[in-house]
Amino acid sequence: MARDFLKSLRRRSRASFRTDQKSTTDDSSETGSHSQGTGPASGFTTPASISHQSDPALNLQLKEHSEPRQQYDQPQQPQIRPPLPPIPNAYRHSVSGMSGLGAPPDTPPGGASSLRRQSRLPVSQYAPRIRNAHDGMVVYQKVLLLNGVIGDNPHYDIDGTVTVTKTTDDFPPITWPVYSSRFKALVYLRPGHNALRFDFSSPKVANSGSSNPIHTSYILIHMIPPLGNPPLQLAILLGKDSPGLYDAPPARVEREGHGLDMAIKKFRMAAYLWQAFTSEQMMRHKLGRRTFRFDEEWTTGTANLRDQEEGTMRSEAKIHIIRSEKTVAEIRDLNYAQQNSAATKKNALFDIAAAAVRQHFHISRGQPQYVTVLILDAHWDTTHKMITGHAALGSGHGDLKLSIFGSHCLHSYPASFEEIVPAFTDCTPTDTNYVANDSNEAGSSWEAANIGIGAHLHEVGHLFGCPHQESGIMLRDYVVFNRTFVAREAYSMRTKSKGGLCEQSDECDWHRLDALRFRAHPAFRLVNEPQYPNDSVQAYPTETAGTALVVAASGISFVEIFSEGDDVCHTWLEVIREAPGARSPKHLHLSAEDLVNRLPPHKRTKSIKVSVKSCAGASLDIEDFKQFASKQSLVELKGGRYASRGANVGRSRGGDACEVVLSSAAGANRVLSRVVVFHGAAVDGLKFIYDDASSQLFGKIGGKAGGDAFELDVRRGEVIAGFHVRAGAWIDGIQIITSLGRKSPMFGNPLGGELCRMIAPPKYHVCGVSGSCSRWLDTFAILVKQ
């Protein structure tokens, strides 16, 4: 037995110590691959790793002989390599690829997770650092604005270029300039994950011009299109006889043309800039990367020059082409009428655009559409020195949310990514023999691009419900719109000043109040957020002098405070700031004293107006809050108790005041059994009928003969809990809501005005109605008591 064992040991040892000729000449042999850099040199007869990989038979002397004999002949398992020690910070600037082995591959095996591992590789000290995005970030728009620096050393001051390459699709690389180590770039995203590579190159930096990228960084961006949100529709409006041309200087016409195809490319790129700008601004306001989306169509790509040359098809923002029933001459003549005739002509061009848009989109009541229009036939009249066929207007009211703007600056817009920086740095003087110098603020080509793109975005802000503000896009800060997209500003004809570095603090922005409005707007909803139903804000004075209770089912977002004489809001109260898991309160007590103390001292003695905004975008304006929160808004009941008169809906036109305190709620021994609503195309009045056949009339009798009755289930104690009211200039329709959750039909015009939900707040119940009446009900409010 012992002899057999020793023979076996001798055979195994002889085989193990036999020298493999290949191992003496090839450093990449299997033996060397597990040696951690201690592979055999030529002429060695014993591998250097023998202490780790010696014949397993040598261990048999230490094992129990009860092990099965056949296991000894199993193939040996490779030794597991121990982990490498961590690399100290002193080596963080080592460069992947400088040894000639090359940079990491563009598309690493394993997809997104491999890219994250790759992005943690040691990088060059000149590798681009993205400051406003992180690896794995989720965004919601096609075009994303990125800004960054070269390296992380604040003392670097170097110029060059950054080339952005998408490694996950065929979008061509785009190069962006670097100035004083700063750069700004736009990237074109598709749904899903987008792997991006950033390569820095400069003649002042070694190895940056080689075919092997060295100063490189990577980032992964996920894009989820918010397809559940209503889109912003883009439309170009032409006269019925328009040739489809826009104003442009001769040199521009010769270089790129000025027809409808080029107008589509330029307008689409301007819309992408709006989208990217808004997303970046919302992120800076810490409200998420919210922005509006566009309807898209499968068409020839226009975002880069290669797609345009090769006819590559992509999903791009759709531009609707709409022909008006008016001729070009009729459209242009309206400007003379607007400036030289009665005020009734002021909105004539807006009305023409609205009619054409309604017909094109077949807009129905109750189905809002958001449409912005570029009027292609705008023209610089050199004789009268005015822009005809142009109006800068926007409105967020009604079912059609519309904004319009002329094409007189379109010649200066970029038509692709490659043209963005040249367009925003082109100092070519504006030749007023051919094109307009709008408001004398477009003296050069890049400043004309600012006015055209930025002022049109201002009107889009109106479309989304934004009023004028004390600063930002909704003032006139769009004259520096270019600074968001370039690292260095060119010479300005407007200010007669030399350009320089464009820091974030120098850029224009959306005002904080605009951003708060966008957070509540359905077009800006994030994909993981709930969709709020129809909502409204209600307010009720309390028995505590100077205070009022405001209520919104979706929550209170913020409160604007206006002092007498203020044309824009300077002071506001944010009920809650954006935070993970945070919720806005549905009920909020406002104190006149607290609101006044938020104003500057010289405004505190004046009357104040408040505008309360809900998280669903609803709004309630209280013109004189001090008066509203006083005892004048309380109704005295029997027994020394009081009822609160809520805020009115509708518009008072000097009609007679009317008010009814329900007998059933005022202590009388009666039960409300029926409500009769008198109505036609609007609501004329309500008649409350009790179980003893007595009644109370609110408003007047009119419309449909006999009105329509709604019965209450008195046996189950059913009472009125509130109303749904459709109101605009008057009360269009009304629906009764009961304590059992039942609803009456909508009496009156079911599609008129805006829907308002008037429900008694918690611990209160409805005890009457209030308002005013002329030919029919002009205003309506409810009375509530505890």
In a domain, 764, yes or no: yes
- 461 and 406 housed in the same domain: yes
The residues facing 372 across adjacent strands are 234, 403
- What is the tens place of the pLDDT at every residue in 668-677? 688 999 999 9
Under 8 Å between Cβ of 291 and 272: no
- The DSSP output letter for 429 is B
- 204 and 252 housed in the same domain: no
User: What pLDDT, on a 0 to 100 scale, did the predictor assign at position 35?
Assistant: 37
In a domain, 38, yes or no: no
User: 637-653 burial by CB neighbour count: b if 16+ within 10 A, else e?
Assistant: beeeebbbbbbbbbeee
In a domain, 61, yes or no: no
210 Cβ neighbours under 8 A, 6+ residues apart? none
**Residue tagged 């850029």 (tokens):** 507
Indicate the residue among 475, 500, 520 that finishes a domain.
Answer: 520
Amino acid occupying residue 633: S
Indicate the residue among 520, 548, 567 that finishes a domain.
Answer: 520
The residues facing 675 across adjacent strands are 688, 710
Q: 243: pLDDT confidence band, cut at 50, 70 and 90?
A: very high
User: What pLDDT, on a 0 to 100 scale, did the predictor assign at position 536?
Assistant: 87
When pLDDT is averaged across residues 451-461 and rounded to a whole number, the result is 97
- What is the tens place of the pLDDT at every residue in 347-371? 899 999 999 999 999 988 778 899 9
Q: 177: pLDDT confidence band, cut at 50, 70 and 90?
A: very high
The residues facing 724 across adjacent strands are 735, 757
- 420 and 293 housed in the same domain: yes
Total structural domains within the chain = 4
Tokens of 451: 């006015």
C-alpha closest to that of 232 among 456, 415, 412: 456
Cα(249)–Cα(161) distance, rounded to whole angstroms?
31
- 396 and 448 housed in the same domain: yes
| pLDDT beyond 60 at 479 | yes
C-alpha closest to that of 477 among 506, 508, 452, 507: 508
- 497 and 352 housed in the same domain: yes
In a domain, 95, yes or no: no
| pLDDT beyond 70 at 658 | yes
In a domain, 757, yes or no: yes
Q: State the CATH number of the domain containing residue 205.
A: 2.60.40.10
User: What pLDDT, on a 0 to 100 scale, did the predictor assign at position 577?
Assistant: 59
- 130 and 181 housed in the same domain: yes
Longest dimension (CA), the chain: 124
Based on the residue annotation, tell me whether 459 is a catalytic residue of this protein.
yes
- 606 and 653 housed in the same domain: no
Q: 83: pLDDT confidence band, cut at 50, 70 and 90?
A: low
When pLDDT is averaged across residues 124-148 and rounded to a whole number, the result is 94
- What is the tens place of the pLDDT at every residue in 379-437? 999 998 999 999 999 998 888 999 999 999 999 999 999 999 999 999 999 999 999 99
> What ranges make up the beta strands (E) of 672-764?
672-679, 683-690, 695-699, 708-711, 720-727, 731-738, 747-748, 754-759
Amino acid occupying residue 159: D
- 508 and 559 housed in the same domain: no
Q: 535: how many CB neighbours lie within 10 A of its CB?
A: 18
Indicate the residue among 178, 204, 223 that finishes a domain.
Answer: 223
C-alpha closest to that of 238 among 90, 410, 392, 406: 406
In a domain, 8, yes or no: no
In a domain, 433, yes or no: yes
Q: State the CATH number of the domain containing residue 781.
A: 2.100.10.30
- 597 and 653 housed in the same domain: no
- Exactly one of 280, 441, 447, 459 is catalytic; name it: 459
Please tell me the total number of residues recorded for the chain in this structure: 786
| pLDDT beyond 60 at 269 | yes
Among 49-58, 370-379, 756-765, which is the least confidently predicted range?
49-58
**Residue tagged 């036939």 (tokens):** 377
Under 8 Å between Cβ of 145 and 122: no
- 427 and 404 housed in the same domain: yes
Where is pLDDT greater, at 459 or 581? 459
- 259 and 393 housed in the same domain: yes
User: What pLDDT, on a 0 to 100 scale, did the predictor assign at position 78?
Assistant: 47
Amino acid occupying residue 206: A
Tokens of 95: 């460069």
DSSP string, 340-392: HS-GGGTTHHHHHHHHHHHHHHT--TT--EEEEEEETT-EEETTTTEEES---
Where is pLDDT greater, at 334 or 692? 692
User: What pLDDT, on a 0 to 100 scale, did the predictor assign at position 608?
Assistant: 95
Residue 561 belongs to domain spanning: 532-628
Among 99-103, 317-321, 594-598, which is the least confidently predicted range?
99-103
Tokens of 270: 């301007």
Burial class (CB in 10 A: 0-12, 13-18, 19+), 522: middle
| pLDDT beyond 80 at 610 | yes
112 membership: H or E segment, kind and range: helix 112-119
In a domain, 52, yes or no: no
Amino acid occupying residue 718: E
Cα(558)–Cα(590) distance, rounded to whole angstroms?
12
User: What pLDDT, on a 0 to 100 scale, did the predictor assign at position 49?
Assistant: 37
Cα(265)–Cα(279) distance, rounded to whole angstroms?
21
- 405 and 550 housed in the same domain: no
Q: State the CATH number of the domain containing residue 582.
A: 2.60.40
Helix, strand, coil percentages for the chain (3-state, nearest 5): 25, 30, 45
- Mapping DSSP to helix (H, G, I), strand (E, B) and coil, where does residue 778 land? strand
| pLDDT beyond 90 at 267 | yes
